[in-house]
Chain A
């Protein structure tokens, strides 16, 4: 893989709730020759995209980050923003596409944000998985020095990477039959298991005041992965990870399936530090017959 510099939007969850998601990515990127250049003074994206077309206030967090990204991008000569969190990806991707398609909305937000330069919608918002795919999963396979052979992984997409399909370009793969996570899992040497709940909703924000609903959803998702004999559930989303974790807590030990971020397995397969809980890392190593990373 060639060395490249891209803009990087971390998002709040990677900075406080799940630092292992970000740290394992940095470790992996070092091995892959990808330099993540953090957008200065990025703002919270708002987590869920506003669907009200008569109110653009909820887009502003994303736009403020774009303005800072566009300055930094000019400096380093790229227009690509890479995002890890699926919720952040969904919001930023949507807002960027809306601003590209609707000149009136763009003018409206630019007029509102009068303390910063105007945003010219020329940035390209990309999920980290898309970056890996475009660089070639076959090239990734060549960089893997600790293939996770024998490890059965249930790739869980959730919603935000696949839906909605409008504006066009939001899903990172075919929303009805995605394969990108499976291709990723194969490229790191593990075996993807197909489970029917892979693109079903975890219950999203219901964890806040109707945790019963998220519990009901996540138990089905975990049960589905379990019945396909998955060793792990692979998650690209901090909120799904949290909700699935709460689902695991409500199940007895035999029904649980540990949930890890895809970048943690990536780092492990590249021989870098995966920031996995010791117990899970030991389980994986036992399965693949390897030694602990340093």
Chain B
């Protein structure tokens, strides 16, 4: 197992090698129009140990709606794999995806800010 796959497995608890590229996750995903690579392609990159996946916007566009996870015929929690890809970046020292100081706390409800903070900061 390559280093990237090892880290993804460790964080997500999912064996990325179970994926056989059927594309069900990408077919069901409501956000693919916005993504650099599709969810099943991101998993291939992880299988190949290609760290360029960490620089794609795909994990950040994922909204954790879990349609992919419900539909995966291999029982993979694809949303958890996306979370692992986010976590790898978030845990890097100095990496900032969401600067909470710039969030409009007057306008946005607490529920939205807290959700974003959970997913995009550590």
Once the chains are docked, how many angstroms separate the CA of A203 from the CA of B33? 13
List of B residues within 8 angstroms of A159 by Cβ: 64-67
Interface residues of B in 5-47 (CB under 8 A from A): 10-13, 30-31, 34
A207 at the interface (CB under 8 A from B): yes
* Contact assessment for A17 and B118 in the assembled complex, using a CB-CB cutoff below 8 Å: no
* Contact assessment for B87 and A207 in the assembled complex, using a CB-CB cutoff below 8 Å: no
What is the size category of the interface that chain A forms with chain B? 35 or more
Main secondary structure on B side of the interface with A: helix
B84 at the interface (CB under 8 A from A): yes
Once the chains are docked, how many angstroms separate the CA of A164 from the CA of B65? 8
Once the chains are docked, how many angstroms separate the CA of A58 from the CA of B115? 12
Q: B83 is contacted by which of A12, A44, A52, A163 (Cβ under 8 Å)? A: A52
| Cβ distance A182 to chain B, nearest Cβ, rounded Å | 20
Once A51-B83, A165-B70, A166-B69 are accepted as A-B contacts, the answer to whether A201 and B30 lie under 8 Å apart by CB is yes
B113 at the interface (CB under 8 A from A): yes
B116 at the interface (CB under 8 A from A): yes
* Contact assessment for B84 and A203 in the assembled complex, using a CB-CB cutoff below 8 Å: no
List of A residues within 8 angstroms of B70 by Cβ: 163-165, 175-176
Q: B77 is contacted by which of A13, A164, A242 (Cβ under 8 Å)? A: A164
Interface residues of A in 105-142 (CB under 8 A from B): none
Q: Mark B42-71, 1 if CB is under 8 A from A, else 0.
A: 000000000000000000010111110110
Once A51-B79, A201-B63, A204-B64 are accepted as A-B contacts, the answer to whether A12 and B111 lie under 8 Å apart by CB is yes
* Contact assessment for B112 and A51 in the assembled complex, using a CB-CB cutoff below 8 Å: no
List of B residues within 8 angstroms of A51 by Cβ: 12, 64, 77, 79-80, 83-84
Compute the total of residue contacts between A and B using a CB distance below 8 Å.
117
A3 at the interface (CB under 8 A from B): no
List of B residues within 8 angstroms of A46 by Cβ: 114, 118
Q: B65 is contacted by which of A17, A55, A201 (Cβ under 8 Å)? A: A201
B109 at the interface (CB under 8 A from A): yes
A180 at the interface (CB under 8 A from B): no
Q: Mark B69-112, 1 if CB is under 8 A from A, else 0.
A: 11000000101100110010000000000100001000011111
| Cβ distance A11 to chain B, nearest Cβ, rounded Å | 8
List of A residues within 8 angstroms of B80 by Cβ: 51-53
List of A residues within 8 angstroms of B110 by Cβ: 12-13, 16-17
Once the chains are docked, how many angstroms separate the CA of A200 from the CA of B67? 9
Once the chains are docked, how many angstroms separate the CA of A66 from the CA of B98? 30
Q: A239 is contacted by which of B11, B103, B109 (Cβ under 8 Å)? A: B109
* Contact assessment for A48 and B67 in the assembled complex, using a CB-CB cutoff below 8 Å: no
List of B residues within 8 angstroms of A52 by Cβ: 11-12, 80, 83-84, 87
* A-B contacts besides A48-B115, A52-B84, A176-B70, 12 pairs, CB < 8 Å: A12-B114, A13-B111, A47-B115, A51-B80, A54-B11, A159-B64, A208-B112, A209-B120, A213-B31, A213-B34, A213-B61, A239-B109
Q: Which residue of A lies closest to B100 (CB)?
A: A208
Interface residues of A in 40-64 (CB under 8 A from B): 44, 46-48, 50-55, 58
